[in-house]
Chains A and B, each alone.
Chain A
């Protein structure tokens, strides 16, 4: 019987519960969002005693379904003030599922200041003092804990940024090589974990793919078929393994929708190619790194990479959004600098996107010049040191904008907008404006149809069709995030009519269900409704489903477009 593990930080107690019936059919984002709605008062202080963190593997995690080891981390977000599901790769999801744990819940606040850790294994769980780990970066913490508990354990941890309760802090876990770089980065959940005095969770599970499956034969046939569907798709089977997500840099730049210089009015950066996926693959291979790498065992798309840095360390991976936010967004064109900033974020425990957007705002304020790599590195290091300037930056883009009087702040619901300018990738603009998550590109990744010609084509520079596109993608994404499948399966699922039925077939074979494709759509819709309900209770209104003013008024070159989707249309996104 699957279990909930409750970590009560107030009484320093662990409690195993049978998974309540209500949550049995849920996993990943479906579970975390429902749980947050049920157990977290929407008006609570995100860093106070009533907020809870819930960590859940997806429904298919821990089986041999390809690319199914994604982990959902949920709570009320200190960055947005709304509900948050932040999704990570890494090895912990499969391990947690193989310990028959449906969710780990962290609740309460410690009575005294300090830091603790929790160790979970097939023998049980224990809470241990961790003051020796406090203040340390995530790479060191992970190394220490792998040394202490065995090379194969999973380590979920926060860095100094989380300990300092900064709203840009994320929760990380390691990949199979021990890199603590697979982040549930967005929304400041690292600060929530920090507020609870929880520095790390060690997950020791000898098994990876052995979650009980009702109909093994049927499941394995479906899993094989799904792997083939992925491998046969040119993006999932060729593009992502060869160049990783950063292959996007050049096409987004050519399409004129690359945010440059803190979302200035130009959608191209002449030196984008220097920090793009082709360059990354070339340099990584030349230095003995890898252009193809899996963030967890069983991923067939392997979009990750291993980038050796000049100082001898490796940054693994460098993703497109990170290369963008520390590259073109700051007018920096040196991949080694991008890698260094990425590594620093991983170590200090920060969301790369939020820090890249925040640094863009800081540069716009004139505090440091655009293009100044040394100043950007120093600014980020200050976050780790906890200086006043560092704490301003570490609290994210909106905080920096307020501190320095900048009005051009690309953020929605308090969260920085990534990598695709909404003025000429308008479908993503609709997603940024309306998703319950705040400025988030993954929540309804309209770049597919707008730029990549996957799942049809909707002209990115026109308003027509974007609301429908974003709505359908937001529903599909919520459902995918419940399964534990990596969102990148969507490229194949959108193009191949066999894709979604095969996902349904895997779920049915695993759980002995008879779901249909329609049920999956309903699941996606119900997740969004749950999240919208939490946000409404937390005080969000239609007015929060809007983009910052300058996107409506300042034209973006080369297409001369603004974001021109009306408020009335935006308000129809959740008409279901």
Chain B
């Protein structure tokens, strides 16, 4: 299955991309967000928000074909 991944705000140092750059991935069916971040060796505690299609999801979430995944460390403002 194909998914879209974007990482932001410092996490890009693990993916070797630019922040927000679209990363297109082919993943095995049943892959979870946790397995995806392990693939890039992103320390789990650095991923504070994982959004799938714009909604907060836990790291155990099983990804589906066509999902848009975005990962963030803690961010805030206002």
Contacts and interface: CB of A to CB of B under 8 A. Distances in A.
Nearest to A486: B78
B73 A239 contact: yes
Contacts of B49: 251, 452-453
Contacts of A243: 9, 75
A250 B9 contact: yes
Interface residues of A, number: 45
A388 to B, nearest CB: 35
B78 A247 contact: no
Contacts of A242: 10
A559 interface: yes
A248 interface: yes
A235 B20 contact: no
B48 A453 contact: yes
Majority secondary structure, B binding face: loop
A558 B9 CA distance: 23
B78 A445 contact: yes
A247 B48 contact: no
Interface string B40-78: 000000001101011110000000000010101111111
Contacts of A424: 54
Majority secondary structure, A binding face: helix
B20 A256 contact: no
From B6, B8, B74, B75, name the one whose CB has the most chain A CB atoms within 10 angstroms. B75
A100 B72 CA distance: 45
A234 B78 CA distance: 15
B18 to A, nearest CB: 9
B51 A250 contact: no
Given A246-B77, A251-B49, A488-B76, A453 B9 contact: no
B76 to A, nearest CB: 4
Interface in A441-479: 441-442, 445, 447-448, 452-454, 457, 459, 461
The 6 closest A-B pairs by CB, nearest first: A245-B77, A235-B76, A234-B74, A256-B54, A273-B20, A254-B70
Given A240-B76, A245-B78, A247-B77, 14 more contacts: A240-B77, A243-B9, A243-B75, A245-B77, A248-B77, A254-B51, A254-B72, A267-B54, A273-B19, A278-B8, A320-B77, A441-B78, A488-B78, A559-B55
